[in-house]
A and B are shown apart, each in its own frame.
Chain A
Amino acid sequence: MDDMVGIAKALSPMSAKTAERLDRALAPTSAFDGPNDLAEQQTLLATRDQLLALA
């Protein structure tokens, strides 16, 4: 906590350029509001495992 407080005191506010980069970075993200679709995940993992077995 002491480190974080020290950093917060030392840093300047975020620049407009950095804020624009942060917005751009987060624009495509989403927070899924519920449990995973297990069927979808299992299908993806089965595909991965079948392909990795080719090595």
Chain B
Amino acid sequence: MLPAIFGLSGLVLTDDERAFFRDCDPAGYILFGRNIETRAQARALTDELRALHGRDRTFICIDQEGGRVARMKPPVWLPYPAGEAFDRLYETAPASAIEAARANAHALGLDLAEAGINVDCLPLLDVRQPGAHDVIGDRALGTEPMRVAALGRATLDGLARAGIAGVVKHMPGHGRSLVDSHKETPLVTASAEELELDLAPFRTLRNANIGMTGHLRFTAWDAENPATLSPFVIEEVIRKAIGFDGLLLTDDLDMQIAGQKWTIWWASPRRFRP
């Protein structure tokens, strides 16, 4: 099996994709808006992906957060709120916010399960910082690490009740980004001591089964390489300091990380660490 997750070009597999995927046997797939139109179509597509490999379980994931990040959209699917809604409630009623986040994720997970999707790239454990770029913004579960962890755990629990695995992201923390990481690689200049705040929710949920790295550089750890491509950040920060021992995915390599000095061709053979 190849340690890669691939995307698809459209609503159905092309003959080339079908032959390629069968031959190279990737670990899984990620679906985007271009792959999703109706309930029946989505299920047929995921059924075909599963049938290609004959495994009991095939990793099929999607970015279905709620709010502005939703690949499955109305009117076919229900809208779901962004993380900020639960943070706002937590301010006055923490237990109710946790219950609301769990119920929301459970309901969202039922939509995914029906479509044959078994992994959702949610929750964000990024601690939102004042003045940071809106690339995270209202997607975050808050500005206080333990609140983010509590709501993140509730989200993982809700997804699990629907048979969906969640993905904690974006390790080691995306809350300080001053630019849109889809367009350029953010540089975070906070000290290692200050970054303890960013690590805290990931450390609390270190037993999660799946995590995702972010495409940010941190001068405190490795000013040269974005976290996704940094052996130091992966080994010393994510694996050791956080204590995460689950499956570690990268964020999308088609983001501008691939358009700058870290090309997808450079990244794959030299730094993609299975």
Contact = CB atoms under 8 A, between A and B. Distances in A.
Whether both chains belong to one complex is answered with yes
Size class of the B contact interface (CB-based, 8 Å)? 35 or more
A30 B51 CA distance: 15
Contact of B89 (A1, A7, A51): A51
Interface string B79-122: 00100011011011100110110011011001101101011000
Interface string B59-96: 10000000000000000001001000110110111001
Instruction: Label chain A's interface by main secondary structure.
Output: helix
A45 B107 CA distance: 7
Contact of A13 (B1, B78, B110): B1
Nearest to A49: B100
Most buried by A among B4, B9, B85, B247: B247
Contacts of B9: 1
B246 to A, nearest CB: 6
Given A1-B20, A12-B274, A54-B92, A31 B46 contact: yes
Interface string B142-178: 0000000000000000001011110000000000000
A10 B2 CA distance: 10
B100 A14 contact: no
Contacts of B85: 52, 55
A41 B173 CA distance: 32
B49 to A, nearest CB: 11
A50 to B, nearest CB: 8
Given A26-B119, A55-B93, 19 more contacts: A8-B4, A11-B4, A11-B268, A14-B27, A21-B209, A21-B245, A22-B27, A31-B57, A31-B116, A35-B39, A40-B110, A44-B103, A45-B78, A48-B104, A51-B89, A51-B100, A51-B103, A52-B100, A55-B88
Interface of A: 1, 3-8, 10-15, 18-19, 21-22, 24-32, 34-37, 40-41, 44-45, 47-48, 51-52, 54-55
